[in-house]
């Protein structure tokens, strides 16, 4: 049975669905095409149907409004802050699973078992192969160096991914240093923040800037896209680290079980399937993400970017800095 999107988009309205045998209902921030191969594999293996409603905005508000009558069993989303927002709203439940805790490193899951990382991605530097020498950028702190004035592109400072990066800077270096860093980064921008991570690669290819900040998997997606492959081939993927001993900044896609969860047992089976070797390999090969489970290889393309040292800072610590990071971005008028 194939994963069903259109049906659930209609049914997941104000009226809750009754619990049904052998089904799992998912609210997802992730685009359906990114997760459908995984869910189809789960259904083929277990016979359990997975119904997905793509909820781009207002997921927390929706779950709060539905309360105990929510038809959703699981939430799939990206960015640790989005996961913690769902948890903080009181609409999730703790999940006890030896499978999940064995597969997922502690820094990529909630200490109270409310959310679990499924894949990781690094926030890296895209560097022009023509205009940036290898080794010119080694740390995130380097991005505030005046030598990059007028040479950096990035998406909005208030985007979740950039807020998480700034949160990690705060956690590593402190607020005073983070303020100086984000001020210096803004001063080095070649243009006002605009577009998504792919757009920054296109800007480098067009000569508008020399380096940009973006997530690793976007380069993989662009190299797999005939229309964007040429632009992606103009950049190197550089894994900066934090100057005071940290590794490359990591973020996650993840899952949480709702408090309502009418199909608890089937939902738990899906959560555990998503950290299986099979599912982790699909994530790696299809989405160019890093498997969260040790021992599952990355795709050949991702491996070609070279080895790097992931930051071990717990993502819960990064999420805790989100309010401060957002205020700081607004205080310096980063997008202005």
Whether residue 4 has pLDDT greater than 50: no
Classified as helix, coil or strand, 52 is: strand
Q: What is the pLDDT of residue 34?
A: 81
Contact 122, 330 (CB under 8 A): no
* DSSP-derived secondary structure letter, 15: S
Write out pLDDT tens, residues 260-274: 999 999 999 999 999
Confidence of residue 74 (pLDDT cuts 50, 70, 90): very high
Contact 28, 76 (CB under 8 A): yes
Residues whose CB is less than 8 angstroms from the CB of residue 43 and which lie 6 or more positions away in sequence, other chains included: 1, 2, 3, 49, 50
* CA nearest neighbour of 124 among 216, 256, 41: 216
Supply the CATH classification number for the domain 121-249+307-331.
3.40.190.10
**How is residue 23 written in tokens?**
């089904």
| CA quadruple 284, 321, 163, 307: dihedral sign | negative
Specify the domain boundaries for CATH 3.40.190.10 within the chain.
6-120+251-296, 121-249+307-331
Whether residue 19 has pLDDT greater than 80: no
Write out pLDDT tens, residues 195-240: 999 999 999 999 999 999 999 999 999 999 999 999 999 999 999 9
Contact 323, 310 (CB under 8 A): no
Q: What is the pLDDT of residue 31?
A: 78
Q: What is the pLDDT of residue 13?
A: 43
**What is the mean predicted confidence (pLDDT) over 241-257?**
96
Confidence of residue 285 (pLDDT cuts 50, 70, 90): very high
**What is the mean predicted confidence (pLDDT) over 12-34?**
69
How many angstroms separate the Cα of 138 from the Cα of each of 122, 125, 142, 237?
14, 9, 7, 12
Domain range 6-120+251-296, CATH class = alpha beta
């Amino acid at each position: 049975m194939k994963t069903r999107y259109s049906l659930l988009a209609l049914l997941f309205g104000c009226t809750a669905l009754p619990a049904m045998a052998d089904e799992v209902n998912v609210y997802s921030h992730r685009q359906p095409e990114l997760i459908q191969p995984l869910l189809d594999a789960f259904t083929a293996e277990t016979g359990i149907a997975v119904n997905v409603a793509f909820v781009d905005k207002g997921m927390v508000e929706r779950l709060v409004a539905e309360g105990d009558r929510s038809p959703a069993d699981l939430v799939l989303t990206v960015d640790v802050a989005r996961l913690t927002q769902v948890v903080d709203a009181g609409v999730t439940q703790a999940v006890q699973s030896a499978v999940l805790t064995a597969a997922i490193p502690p820094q990529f899951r909630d200490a109270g078992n409310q959310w679990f990382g499924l894949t990781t991605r690094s926030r890296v530097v895209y560097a022009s192969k023509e205009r940036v020498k290898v080794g010119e950028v080694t740390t995130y702190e380097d991005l505030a160096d005046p030598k990059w004035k007028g040479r950096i592109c990035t998406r909005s400072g208030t985007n979740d991914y950039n807020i998480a990066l700034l949160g990690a800077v705060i956690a590593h270096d402190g607020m005073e240093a983070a303020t100086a860093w984000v001020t210096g980064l803004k001063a080095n921008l070649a243009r006002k923040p605009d577009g998504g991570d792919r757009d920054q690669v296109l800007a480098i290819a067009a000569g508008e800037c020399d380096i940009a900040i973006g997530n690793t998997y976007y380069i993989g997606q662009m190299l797999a896209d005939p229309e964007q492959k040429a632009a992606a081939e103009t950049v190197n993927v550089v894994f900066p680290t934090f100057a005071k001993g940290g590794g490359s900044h990591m973020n996650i896609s993840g899952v949480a079980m709702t408090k309502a969860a009418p199909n608890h047992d089937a939902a738990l089976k899906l959560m555990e399937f998503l950290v299986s070797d099979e599912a982790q390999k699909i994530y790696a090969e299809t989405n160019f993400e890093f498997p969260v489970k040790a021992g599952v290889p990355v795709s050949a393309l991702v491996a070609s970017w070279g080895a790097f040292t992931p930051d071990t800072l717990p993502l819960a610590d990064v999420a805790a800095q989100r309010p401060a990071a957002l205020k700081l971005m607004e205080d310096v008028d980063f997008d202005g």
